[in-house]
Structure formats: C-alpha cells, structure tokens
Amino acid sequence: MASKEIDMKALSAAAQACVVKMREAKVNEACIRTFVAQHGMVSRGESGSIPDSAILPIESLDALDELSAECDNDVLQSTVVLKLNGGLGTGMGLHDAKTLLEVKDGKSFLDFTALQVQYLRQHCSEHLRFMVMDSFSTTTSTKRFLEGRYPWLHEVFESEVELMQNQVPKILQDTLEPATWAADPSCEWTPPGHGDIYTALYGSGKLQELVQRGYRYMFVSNGDNLGATLDSRVLAYMEAKEIDFLMEVCRRTESDKKGGHLARQATPASGAAKAGLLLLRESAQCPKADMDSFQDIHKYAFFNTNNLWVRLPALLATMEERGGTLPLPVIRNEKTVDPADSASPAVYQLETAMGAAITMFERASAIAVPRSRFAPVKTCADLLALRSDAYVVTPDFRLVLDDRRHGEPPLITLDNAHYKMMSGFEKLVQRGVPSLVQCERVSVKGLVQFGADNVLTGAVAIENPNSASTYVIADGTTLTDTTATPSS
C-alpha cells in the first residue's frame, strides 16, 4: 500500500497545528502520519485498556539454553545489531548520553558495545552492520565519542551507524494543541519513545536500504544492557521456525510483578489480524479490578527484556501494508512542558514501546532467556554491581557474573537520599569499589565512603546515623555478615 497523504480537512484544529509545526521542523512524513494517528487516539479518549477477559496466559515457551544449533555464516553476514542510544539517564542525574557512563575498567557502555562489535567482525562476521538510534539529545556527544576512540565507526557514522530518532511536539493537556515555550523552544519537543524505531527506519529510508543490500535480520536492545549480545542460536531458531519477530523474555519474580507481562490475545486487538497473537500488557493498560491478577507472577510468568529480533523484509512488508506506519498503542505521559519548571503548562508526551509491535506479526514468537541477558543499569546500585568483581569481562567483551556467583548478582540497596544520583555515588566509591564477589547482599544508609581494597562477604549493612559527617571505611577492611557503623 502506498503511503497515504494526510487529509488535513479531516483533522481537528489542534491536530492540524501539530502537522504544520512538524512540517516546518522538517519532520519526515512517516513520523507525522504516525503522530496524527496517536493524536486521534488521545482526542477520542482511547485508554488502551486490556482486561483479563481479553487475554490468555502464556503456558510455556522454548528456552535459549535448550538450543544448540548455530546459524550459517551467511545469516550472520546479513544481520544488523542496533543499540538504543537516545536516553540521557536523567534518573541518575546524568546530562549526556547514558551509554557514555563509565561502567568498568575505565570503559563505558558504548566502549563495550563497540568492542563487542569489533570482536564479532574479526571472529564471526566481517560484514556485521552496527547501528545506534540516537535522539537529538545524544547525537553530538555520541559522534564526538566515536571520533576520538573508534574512527572505524566514526568514518561511517552518518551513512551507516546512526539512525536518528524522530522528535514530536508536546501537546497541551487542555486543548491538545502543540505546546510553546519561548524561554526554551527545545522544551516543546520530545522523542516519541523507542517504538519510534520502526517509523525512524522507514521514514529515513534506512529500512528500505538495508533490505535492498541483503540484510535480513536486526537485533535491537537497550544501550545500557550489556547482557544483550548477538547470539547465533537465536538466528538459527528464527530461520528454522520462520519467525518474523522474536522477543526475548525472562521469568517474572516478585521484584518484577509491577512491570508489564507477555500474554496471548483471546480476542483480536486493534490493528491485529486475528486472535491468538502475542501482546504486551503494561500496568497502565490493566483495569484496577484486574490488578491482583496482573501481579500474579505464576499466572503471567514472563516479562519483556526489550531484546528484540526482527526479520527486516517482513518488517518492511508489514509497514508498507499499513501506509508506512505501525499502529502501536499510544502511551500518554503527563508532564510539564519545561521539566525543570513545575509551574509551566501541563502537557502530554506521546510515546510508544517497540515491544508492542509483537502484535503486528502473525509469525511472532517469544523465547525464554536466562537473566544474564537482562542486565540493564537503571540505578546506581546496578552500576555498583557491574563495577565490582562480581562481574568479569570475557574475551569477547561481555560483562558476565563471576562463576562464584552461580548466576545470582548481589542484592544491593543504596540510600536514595544520598546515592540516587551519580554525584553522590561517585563520592561513595571515590577511593575504591569494594569486592562483592562473595557478597550475598549489602545495604548502605547515610553518608558513607568505601576505602581501598574493602571486601564484603555474606550479608552486610553499613549505616551512618550522623548526617554531619561521612563514615569512611578504613582501607583493607573486610566486613562479613555484620552491621557496620562508625562506632562499631
């Protein structure tokens, strides 16, 4: 199906104003069509609610650990690895691309990703294509970083590496018109979530180019998830099963029960061809009456890792059937136009999630993977674990748990009052990161600073009730199954 022209006369005045603003900013037409459809969903009050009566639990899935066959070399040669790189990590107090944050041994997320790609090209697939999806907030710093450290990527950054995420207008909550903010016009725009990857690929022409050049598969994962690496067993599985869209999922635990889960449609969902297809249900899509069922980790046993595998020709065909768009459920985030000014006008930021596309493919599936393939860094506690000796670097530049951990990371709790942001965390580890390889759990409360060569084993609590001074743990101290305080 050819891409449809937007019928401006059929749009509300608010939607028309959004189209005009986006065209003035030279946003591509595929993105504009997608945004107009989402704007219509919001104006009609569509909630995207998915009650229990509309879905069925997933009873069983094939597991990655049970697969042994690896794909042929020609399949590897026709694979693209793409990392989502649009986030700033503002939740950790960062103001630059999150993937530039130091993770281990002086290397950042992007360092490790580039080194992984380099290793794969040298040992497995010399034509492996690597891409990042940047946002307008991360493109400059990413390009500068690659120029200084990985010139082989910088040389083809604009032509091959970078996929630019679109930007869309924030809309006023009361009128749904595009927001304006003269004090800082950049605040008027927002990235439309990682579900924009499909629109960005299609609207930029890169999807068509990849298919024309013979690329068949794309593996997409979060830039801060160093557990998500190319695994040829997955490609072999997709080939054998003729799968067009594959999602890696993990079993939910108690700590995951408030997050979204995988399910199967009992009745056809909007935009889906038939019942029985896989879908994702997020907490915001669950009616309050079904929340207990939503949080039942035995009933709904799997969650999305955001490690996705897509057959590119199938994606192109699916989008062209829908006029160059994918009708994903819209996520309506309530914010203020200036995030730093709570008194600024209330707006909606319209976003989509890329995993929701699983409903768009009849030949979609999911595969259960070990927790080691889901190791994102969302908090400073996650970062402390990676920086410690609980994780080691493999010859192919993956970060994996030390064998002595038996697959279980240490449970780390840091005082949010002091260590939620990187500025406080860096003070905590300024003199050294403690050994955690034999630590079951550790909690830190109050102002604390680790010393050099500290070793924590078993279950350790470190508490400083004095808010006027920092509890500095002496160099060389070993703490085992204890609660340490300044007076102990």
Q: What does the pLDDT read at residue 375?
A: 84
Catalytic positions are: 378
Q: Which residues, listed in sequence order, are joined to residue 459 by a DSSP beta bridge?
A: 441
Q: What is the pLDDT of residue 4?
A: 67
Q: Residues 207, 319: contact at Cβ < 8 Å?
A: yes
Cα 364 from Cα 366, distance rounded (Å) = 7
**Segments of the chain with pLDDT less than 50:** 1, 272-273
Decide if domain 380-484 falls under CATH 2.160.10.10: yes
61: tokens are 């899935």
What is the reported pTM? 0.92
CATH 2.160.10.10 domain extents, the chain: 380-484
What ranges make up the beta strands (E) of 57-118? 79-85, 102-104, 107-108
Range list for CATH 3.90.550.10 in the chain: 8-373
pLDDT at residue number 273: 46
| Cα distance between residue 346 and residue 80, in whole Å | 39
Residue 458: which H helix or E strand, with range?
A: strand 455-463
3 state DSSP class of 179: coil
C-alpha span between 272 and 209 (Å, rounded): 27
Helix axes 196-204, 312-321, angle to 10 degrees: 90
Look at residue 272 and give its three-state secondary structure: coil
Choose among 112, 111, 92, 110: nearest CA to 382.
92
Is residue 295 annotated as involved in ligand binding? no
Q: Can you state the percent helix, strand and coil of the chain, rounding each to 5?
A: 35, 25, 40
Q: Please tell me whether 193 is known to bind a ligand.
A: yes
Q: Is 131 left (phi over 0), alpha (psi -120 to 50) or beta?
A: beta
CA distance 466 to 469: 6
Was 224 annotated as part of a binding site?
yes
SS3 44: coil
Q: How many residues does the chain have?
A: 488
| Closest CA relative to residue 271, chosen from 46, 105, 9 | 46
CATH code of the domain made up of 8-373:
3.90.550.10
Q: Does 98 belong to an annotated binding site?
A: yes
Answer yes or no: is 274 a known binding residue.
Answer: no
pLDDT at 151: 96
Nearest residue to 32 (alpha-carbon basis) of 23, 40, 42: 23
The Cα–Cα gap between 360 and 352 comes to 14
For 38, phi then psi, to 5°, come to -70, -40
Rounded Cα gap, residues 30 and 487, in angstroms: 64
In this structure, which amino acid lies at residue 354? Answer: M
Residues near 211 by Cβ (< 8 Å), separated by ≥ 6? 312, 313, 316
